[in-house]
């Protein structure tokens, strides 16, 4: 395993994307959905993926129940809502060479083109969108019942002042509407390669999304 500095140095030499470094804001153990009546809450999220897990259907229902801003509901419920709006907000792991990631970190992007989803753009705060458009919070938890550590990575700004980012290959963070931004997220210490984790993330403009992926 490389340490974090060596990792970003190695990326700076070869790749053509941008890495956004998180601030790890929370690292503790807490029960999630320990309340047996939690199933009645339309905003509740499962600790493990059900056998029939369908992230598009789940996030559509939860979004309409309040997890997604009202202004975006016509888009997610529209004819291209699954691929252009819901799928666009689902995480996928970016292939990084084995041994290139620092221990305890994971590289993810949003909207997997391999599944036909639109790539999620990123944008700074502006007059048109004073809140900005990026993921400001990504929480990761091992997908198990009972108590588990949940690690939250927070992103205060995009593109930020420079210290949060590594631009590699001379690439520009804002190119292609920021769609090449890779988020490096912290993994809870109880997660091992091969485990399934729950990703519960918040897009500043479009609300909360939940999915499970194998790391």
Contacting residues toward Fe ion, per CB under 5 A: 203, 205-206
* Least distance from Fe ion to the Cβ atom of residue 116, Å: 17
* Least distance from Fe ion to the Cβ atom of residue 106, Å: 20
* Least distance from Fe ion to the Cβ atom of residue 70, Å: 15
* Least distance from Fe ion to the Cβ atom of residue 11, Å: 25
Nearest residue (CB) to Fe ion, 32 versus 203: 203
Nearest residue (CB) to Fe ion, 136 versus 164: 136
* Least distance from Fe ion to the Cβ atom of residue 81, Å: 13
Write the DSSP assignment of 174-208 as a string of letters.
TGGGGTTEEEEEEPPTT--TT-EEEEEEEETTTEE
d(CA 187, CA 205): 25
* Least distance from Fe ion to the Cβ atom of residue 206, Å: 4
Nearest residue (CB) to Fe ion, 4 versus 179: 179
Per residue, the 3-state secondary structure of the chain, as one string, reads: CCCHHHHHHHHHHHCCCEEECCEEEEEEEECCCCCHHHHHCCCCCCCCCCCCCCHHHHHHHHHHHHHCCHHHHHHHCCCCHHHHHHHHHCEEECCCCCCCCCCCEEEEEECCHHHCCCCCCCECCCCCCCCCECEEEEEEEECCCCCEEEEEEECCCCCCCCCCEEECCCCCCCHHHHCCEEEEEECCCCCCCCCEEEEEEEECCCEEEEEEEEC
Nearest residue (CB) to Fe ion, 81 versus 188: 81
Nearest residue (CB) to Fe ion, 23 versus 177: 177
Nearest residue (CB) to Fe ion, 139 versus 206: 206
């Amino acid at each position: 395993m490389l340490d974090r500095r060596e990792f970003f140095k190695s990326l700076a030499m070869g790749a053509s994307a941008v890495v956004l470094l998180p601030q790890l804001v929370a690292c503790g153990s807490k029960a999630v959905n320990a309340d047996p009546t939690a199933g009645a809450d339309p905003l509740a999220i499962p600790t493990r993926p059900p056998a029939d897990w369908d992230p598009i259907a789940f996030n559509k229902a939860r979004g309409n129940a309040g997890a997604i801003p009202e202004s975006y509901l016509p888009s997610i419920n529209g004819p291209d809502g699954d691929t252009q709006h819901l799928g666009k907000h689902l995480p996928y792991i970016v292939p990084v060479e084995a041994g290139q990631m620092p221990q305890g970190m994971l590289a993810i992007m949003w909207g997997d083109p391999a599944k036909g989803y639109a790539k999620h753009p990123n944008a700074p705060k502006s007059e048109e969108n004073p809140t900005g458009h990026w993921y400001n919070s990504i929480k990761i938890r091992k997908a198990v019942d009972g108590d588990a550590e949940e690690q939250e990575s927070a992103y205060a700004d995009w593109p930020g002042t420079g210290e949060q980012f590594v631009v590699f290959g001379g690439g520009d963070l804002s190119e292609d509407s920021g769609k090449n931004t890779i988020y490096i997220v912290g993994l809870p210490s109880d997660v091992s390669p091969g485990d399934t984790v729950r990703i519960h993330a918040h897009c500043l403009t479009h609300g909360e999304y939940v999915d499970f992926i194998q790391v």
